[in-house]
């Protein structure tokens, strides 16, 4: 009996003890397989697949716990070019999988969905890979507890890394550059993003959207549009990051709360060092450096705690608070700004214990100069007759009024005009009556697309594209009486080229014996990009308008 128990125990032990991991090789010659997918299909869990130098044309599906790595763990010698553009290069649906040292890219002219796709995968390691010319370099969907380390992600049409619905991931020491977006963490909690370099991307470097309880620390986000963005995100820690030389903001916080932004460098950004937009509550902004920006901190929202920051050498404002309530601005150092703190329509904000040393600017010198002119003029006019004094005083007052108007408007950026399409040369050519009630005529005009940068249009050609898709709407209102509504007559889609006149004409049928007010409207579709909370949505916006009165009261049949 004892011998039986020993035998059964031994059998059970060997039946549940895993077989040791096997090493499988892939290469052009002298290897177990010439295809990576064949090696995967013929492997077992925990096996190690080593891939030797070469170019492999495959879309790979991994549904086992494997380690795939190059022979030298480098991304220089093994390239995988996936031929199927509707799929991913690596599609990983298993846990405990490692991908190390590959160069992943698309075939010429193809934009694959992603380089590496983690599909409901856990405890995977993705490291030392180079991924380019796909949509998303690395895509995590419903995946957790993964490590993404040491990868280079560049020239991808969407994101370097896209984290969606995935919690507790560690994203460390990666480089994202020349992508449309750097890294976005969306609807994902408890992730750590650290020591990454997210620079030279078209839109943002690092973004959190509807993401909570995450840490973003020791990253570089330079020369993007926005450095670090938080939208509809709560209880995150943004610490020891460098968000510098971005074309708009170092950091933007939008509809977010209970976040801590501490010990960051938001400097040399073309617009604001830090922008708080809309409803922001109970954010703590501590010990940051904001220098050489246009605005140090620009805030629209409420409930932010702003203190212990160094804000110096900004071009315009150190801290700009507009329509905000409940902020604490305390213990800040604001040096060499045009104005350290600017407030407008504030309520219940606490501003105290700040060190402010504004720089001397032309705006401050001009009033002093005007005062000196007035004093000098008064002394000069003492020698003149009363009538001559009165005339000269009127002349001086007029000159000062003109100067004051110039001084008032000059410091402010006028921006681009609201209408981006100019409508010129509207002409009506009557073609005669078509029946007892209506007259037909040709309405012609010229459209000119004026400014490439006045609208954030999310087009394949980019934000500064030479083409502008629009639609034109023509409406008419009879002005024979004082009341009336515009009635749409016709609308048509068009594509305008930058600065090139587009001659447009259309035959209209209008009621006889009336005076008409014809309204011409041009609409363009604005796509809202992140960090706007409704990014991904679009809205048709009026971008050009003109009217033309057409008098048909004197026409005969």
CA dist., res. 38 & res. 25, Å (int): 11
Residue 546 sits in the same domain as residue 445: yes
Q: What is residue 520's predicted lDDT score, i.e. its pLDDT?
A: 94
| Structural domain that includes position 467 | 421-551
Residue 438 sits in the same domain as residue 374: no
| Cβ atoms 126, 138 nearer than 8 A | yes
Q: Which of 354, 389, 409 is the last residue of a domain?
A: 409
pLDDT-derived band at 34, boundaries 50, 70, 90: very high
Residue 436's CATH number: 2.60.40.10
What DSSP letter does each residue of 355-382 carry, written as one string?
Answer: EEEPPP-HHHHHHHHHHHHHHHHHHHHT
What mean pLDDT do residues 307-333 have? 55
DSSP state at residue 554: T
Tokens of 206: 């690092």
CA dist., res. 447 & res. 82, Å (int): 45
pLDDT-derived band at 372, boundaries 50, 70, 90: low
Residue 383 sits in the same domain as residue 458: no
Task: Assess if residue 18 is contained within a domain.
Answer: no
Q: Name the more confident of 38 and 290.
A: 38
Helix %, strand %, coil % of the chain (to 5):
10, 45, 40
CB atoms inside a 10 Å sphere around CB 437: 11
Q: Name the more confident of 291 and 380.
A: 291
pLDDT-derived band at 283, boundaries 50, 70, 90: confident
Q: Is the pLDDT of residue 416 over 50?
A: no
Q: Is the dihedral of CA 290, 295, 301, 303 positive or negative?
A: positive
| Cβ atoms 137, 160 nearer than 8 A | yes
Q: What is the pLDDT of residues 462-479, one digit of tens each?
A: 445 688 889 999 998 887
Residue 525 sits in the same domain as residue 445: yes
Q: Is the pLDDT of residue 19 over 80?
A: no
Q: What is residue 413's predicted lDDT score, i.e. its pLDDT?
A: 35
| Cβ atoms 151, 127 nearer than 8 A | yes
Task: Assess if residue 266 is contained within a domain.
Answer: no
Residue 545 sits in the same domain as residue 442: yes
Q: What is residue 514's predicted lDDT score, i.e. its pLDDT?
A: 85
| Cβ atoms 293, 319 nearer than 8 A | no
Tokens of 141: 């969907």
* Highest mean pLDDT, choosing among 13-17, 222-226, 277-281: 222-226
Residue 541 sits in the same domain as residue 501: yes
| Cβ atoms 271, 249 nearer than 8 A | yes
Q: What is residue 10's predicted lDDT score, i.e. its pLDDT?
A: 44
Residues paired with residue 357 on neighbouring β-strands, in sequence order = 335
**End-to-end alpha-carbon separation of the chain, Å?**
120
CB atoms inside a 10 Å sphere around CB 499: 11
Task: Assess if residue 244 is contained within a domain.
Answer: no
Task: Assess if residue 489 is contained within a domain.
Answer: yes
Q: What is the pLDDT of residues 178-215, one digit of tens each?
A: 999 999 999 999 999 999 999 999 999 999 999 999 99
**Any idea how long the chain is?**
557
pLDDT-derived band at 225, boundaries 50, 70, 90: very high
| Cβ atoms 225, 202 nearer than 8 A | yes
Q: What is the mean pLDDT of the chain?
A: 80
Q: What is residue 14's predicted lDDT score, i.e. its pLDDT?
A: 38
Alpha-carbon Rg for the chain, nearest whole angstrom, is 33
Q: Which of 208, 132, 140, 218 is nearest to 177 (CA)?
A: 132
Instruction: Report the greatest alpha carbon distance in the chain.
Output: 137
Residue 453 sits in the same domain as residue 520: yes
Residues 6+ apart with CB under 8 A from 221: 182, 198, 199, 204, 205, 206, 227, 228, 241, 242, 243, 246, 250
Global model pTM greater than 0.95? no
CA dist., res. 551 & res. 478, Å (int): 10
Q: What is residue 365's predicted lDDT score, i.e. its pLDDT?
A: 56
Where is average pLDDT lowest: 334-343, 443-452, 496-505?
A: 334-343
Tokens of 372: 């000196």
Q: Name the more confident of 287 and 475.
A: 475
Q: What is residue 530's predicted lDDT score, i.e. its pLDDT?
A: 85
CA dist., res. 92 & res. 33, Å (int): 20
**Can you tell me whether residue 529 is helix, strand or coil?**
coil
What mean pLDDT do residues 309-333 have? 54
Task: Assess if residue 152 is contained within a domain.
Answer: no
Q: Which of 200, 201, 211, 134 is nearest to 171 (CA)?
A: 211
Number of domains in the chain: 2
Q: What is residue 41's predicted lDDT score, i.e. its pLDDT?
A: 96
What mean pLDDT do residues 420-436 have? 90
Task: Assess if residue 5 is contained within a domain.
Answer: no
Residue 542 sits in the same domain as residue 459: yes
CA dist., res. 117 & res. 86, Å (int): 13
In 288-390 the beta strands, taken as DSSP E runs, fall at 289-291, 295-299, 304-307, 310-312, 317-322, 328-330, 333-335, 339-344, 350-352, 355-357
Q: What is the pLDDT of residues 254-282, one digit of tens each?
A: 888 889 988 899 888 887 888 877 777 77
DSSP state at residue 396: H
- Rounded to 10 degrees, the C-alpha dihedral 33/37/38/40 comes to 100
Q: Which of 380, 409, 438 is the last residue of a domain?
A: 409
Residue 404 sits in the same domain as residue 457: no
Which stretch of DSSP H or E encloses residue 11?
helix 2-16
pLDDT-derived band at 92, boundaries 50, 70, 90: very high
Task: Assess if residue 546 is contained within a domain.
Answer: yes
Q: What is the pLDDT of residues 38-87, one digit of tens each?
A: 999 999 999 999 999 999 999 999 999 999 999 987 667 899 998 887 88
Q: Is the pLDDT of residue 393 over 80?
A: no
What mean pLDDT do residues 92-112 have? 88
Task: Assess if residue 376 is contained within a domain.
Answer: yes
What mean pLDDT do residues 310-333 have? 54
Residue 469 sits in the same domain as residue 543: yes
| Cβ atoms 221, 246 nearer than 8 A | yes
Q: Which of 409, 442, 473 is the last residue of a domain?
A: 409
CA dist., res. 240 & res. 305, Å (int): 18
CA dist., res. 312 & res. 516, Å (int): 59
Residue 387 sits in the same domain as residue 509: no
Residue 456 sits in the same domain as residue 532: yes
Q: What is the pLDDT of residues 159-168, one digit of tens each?
A: 999 999 999 9
Q: What is residue 362's predicted lDDT score, i.e. its pLDDT?
A: 53
């Amino acid at each position: 009996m004892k011998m039986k128990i020993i035998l059964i125990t031994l059998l059970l032990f060997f039946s549940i003890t895993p077989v040791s991991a096997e090493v499988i090789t892939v290469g052009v010659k002298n290897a177990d397989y010439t295809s990576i997918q064949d090696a995967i299909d013929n492997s077992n869990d925990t096996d190690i697949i080593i891939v030797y130098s070469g170019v492999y044309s495959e879309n790979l599906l991994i549904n086992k716990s494997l380690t795939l790595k190059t022979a030298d763990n480098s991304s220089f010698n093994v390239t995988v070019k996936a031929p199927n553009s509707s799929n991913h290069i690596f599609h990983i649906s298993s846990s405990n999988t490692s991908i190390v040292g590959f160069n992943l890219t698309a075939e010429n002219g193809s934009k694959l969905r992603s380089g590496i796709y983690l599909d409901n995968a856990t405890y995977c390691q993705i490291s030392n890979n180079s991924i380019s010319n796909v949509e998303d370099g690395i895509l995590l969907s419903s995946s957790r507890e993964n490590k993404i380390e040491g990868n280079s992600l560049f020239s991808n049409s969407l994101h370097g890394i896209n984290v969606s619905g995935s919690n507790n991931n560690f994203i460390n020491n990666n480089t994202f550059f020349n992508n449309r977006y750097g890294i976005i963490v969306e609807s994902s909690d408890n992730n750590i993003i650290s020591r990454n370099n997210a620079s030279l991307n078209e839109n943002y470097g690092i973004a959190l959207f509807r993401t909570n309880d995450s840490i973003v620390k020791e990253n570089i986000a330079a020369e993007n549009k926005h450095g670090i963005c938080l939208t509809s995100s709560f209880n995150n820690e943004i610490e020891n990051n460098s968000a510098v030389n971005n074309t708009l903001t170092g950091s933007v916080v939008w509809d977010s709360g209970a976040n801590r932004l501490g010990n960051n460098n938001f400097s040399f950004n073309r617009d604001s060092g830090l922008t708080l937009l809309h409803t922001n509550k109970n954010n703590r902004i501590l010990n940051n450096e904001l220098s050489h920006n246009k605005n140090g901190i620009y805030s629209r929202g409420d409930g932010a705690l702003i203190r212990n920051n160094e804000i110096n050498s900004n071009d315009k404002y150190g801290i700009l608070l507009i329509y905000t309530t409940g902020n604490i601005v305390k213990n800040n150092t604001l040096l060499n700004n045009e104005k350290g703190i600017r407030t407008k329509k504030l309520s219940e904000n606490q501003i105290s214990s700040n060190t402010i040393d504004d720089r001397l600017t032309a705006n401050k010198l001009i009033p002093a100069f005007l005062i000196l002119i007035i004093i000098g003029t008064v002394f000069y006019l003492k020698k003149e007759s009363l009538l001559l004094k009165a005339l000269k005083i009127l002349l001086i007052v007029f000159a000062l009024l003109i100067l004051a108007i110039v001084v008032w408007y000059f410091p402010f950026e006028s921006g681009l005009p609201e209408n981006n399409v100019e409508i010129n040369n509207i002409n009506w050519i009557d073609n005669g009556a078509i029946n007892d009630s209506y007259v037909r005529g040709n309405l012609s005009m010229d459209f000119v697309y004026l400014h490439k940068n006045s609208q954030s249009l999310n087009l394949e050609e980019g934000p500064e594209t030479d083409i502008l898709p629009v639609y034109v709407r023509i409406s008419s209102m009879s002005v024979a009486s004082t009341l009336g509504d515009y009635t749409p007559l016709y609308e048509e889609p068009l594509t305008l080229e930058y600065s090139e006149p587009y001659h447009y004409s259309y035959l209209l049928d209008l009621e006889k014996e009336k005076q008409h007010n014809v309204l011409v409207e041009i609409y363009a579709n604005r796509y809202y990009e992140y960090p706007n909370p409704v990014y991904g949505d679009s809205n048709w916006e009026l971008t050009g308008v003109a009217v033309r009165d057409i008098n048909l009261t004197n026409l005969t049949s």
